[in-house]
Amino acid sequence: MIQNPWLRLSVCALVLAIADTGHAQREQLSFVGEAFNDSGNLIYTEHHQLTGTCTDSRWRPEDQSVQYYWPGEATPFATKKLRYPEALTRPQVEFSLAELDASMTITTDDAGGALDIQWWSESRQIKQFLVPTKPDLVVDAGFDQLVRERWDELHNGASVEFRFLAPTRGTDFGFQLAPESPSQLDFPLVITVRPSGLITRFLVKPITLGYNDTGLLSYYSGLTNIPRNRDGDNYSAEILYTTTQRPPCPLIP
């Protein structure tokens, strides 16, 4: 037994240091998005904070929080939390829209074969869906991870097919990531996201994404997840993203 208390503390510190070498250090990625309407007026801002680790020389997100603010307001009108415990393209989601007294959760069911979606509307009525998981199914901000996972293919001009979850409808739809070259936008990688089905192409307008050369989203143009009224219509916006903190390891291959 070690009698000297200072020596005991030193040994404890050494043991903790050795034990901690098996765990990757948690790193931060932070960025702010400013959403503008067609007239160039600011609609809202969104503040993103991600925590993850540098694993195998790449950054892997684990947790993400988003807060949405109207211009000049100090209290967020909506919040979102995401966790990435499994596939990075299928995060678990908690979304709360305080102004409409609405919220939604997306989790994996106990059996692991389906997504459990629970949506509370402003009347506090709950809608619940179970959507079977698929290898190419993408959830919410998972599209951002999909772009990074398929970065080389997209950069070389190839298109990527995937399924995207429509949580309030309790189903998923086929979509395509298609690089634009040449593009009117001045970003190293510009991508158009459009439905792959002929019928849905007439119903859903394409979304345009712009990425910088480190794999960070810099530009978004299209339909957002923020309602503009109680009738279910969402804002369309141009969102410009500014990175305030980035991890020390690469985001892309």
pLDDT, residue 110, reads: 77
pLDDT tens digits for range 17-62 = 333 434 568 999 999 999 999 999 999 999 999 999 998 889 999 9
Cα dist. 4→7, 10, 12, 173, 249 in Å? 5, 10, 12, 66, 42
pLDDT tens digits for range 175-224 = 999 999 888 899 999 999 999 976 666 667 899 999 999 999 999 999 99
Query: Which residue, 173, 181, 179, 176, is CA-closest to 191?
Result: 179
- Predicted model pTM: 0.86
Contact 33, 43 (CB under 8 A): no
Give the number of other Cβ atoms within 10 Å of residue 97's Cβ: 19
Contact 84, 61 (CB under 8 A): yes
Q: Give the position of tokens 């859903």.
A: 204
